[in-house]
Amino acid sequence: MKFFPYDQYIALNMETTSDEQLEQLERQWQHNGQQYGEIYQSLAERLPEEVYLHFSKLGFHDYRLLKVDIEHSSLLRSNAHFTLARNGDDIENSPLWMLSFDNISFFQFEHHNYDNPRPIIHPEIDNWLFEEFTPVNECTISLEVLFESGGNIRIHFPDKSIHMKRIK
């Protein structure tokens, strides 16, 4: 994540961060957010309107990632589906959403907290924290998502080939 990196998020939430460091980090976070906002606005015509508007607000912040499905009919035709539930005590009865990508060209998962001997935040919970939509080239978009556990997913997909729907 270029604009909302995991290490900066952790530093903002650590009790050991000094007031001076915290102030500097918050200024940097705000600056990053403004820069990202400009990039996101440039993608308005390349994302479906419903998706663009949804992520213009809170997106899926604080939703739990329940499942990732990757399906392919060939290595040139792969799709991905994220099943998400509003976070809370009653995941079973919360609204479910599916975020789908058609014809993905890249999928990467890494974990920024995997080798840490001490848990940070809630490493066992995959709550969606932040996302970054960025252009890869003139016809491909990247979505990178940072989860509370430290997990990070990056996916590349063609313009307009992301869809979302409420499934429950």
Give the tens place of pLDDT for each residue, 30-70: 999 999 999 999 999 999 999 999 999 989 998 999 999 99
Least confident of 84-88, 120-124, 130-134, 141-145: 120-124
> What are the residues whose beta carbons fall under 8 Å from the beta carbon of 158, sequence distance 6 or more?
102, 103, 105, 139, 140, 141
Q: When comparing pLDDT for 122 and 31, which is higher?
A: 31
- Report pLDDT for 117: 59
Q: Where are the domains of the chain?
A: 6-166
Strand 63-74, strand 77-86: pairing: antiparallel
Coil/strand/helix, residue 68: strand
d(CA 104, CA 70): 10
Instruction: Tell whether the model's pLDDT for residue 164 goes beyond 90.
Output: yes
- Check residue 5 and give its pLDDT: 87
The owner of tokens 């079973």 is: 92
Mean pLDDT across 145-161:
94
Residue 51, pLDDT score: 98
Task: Give the pLDDT band of residue 13 (cuts 50, 70, 90).
Answer: confident
- At residue 119, does pLDDT exceed 60? no
d(CA 50, CA 39): 18
For 68-115, what is each residue's pLDDT tens digit?
999 988 878 899 999 999 877 677 778 899 999 999 999 999 987 766
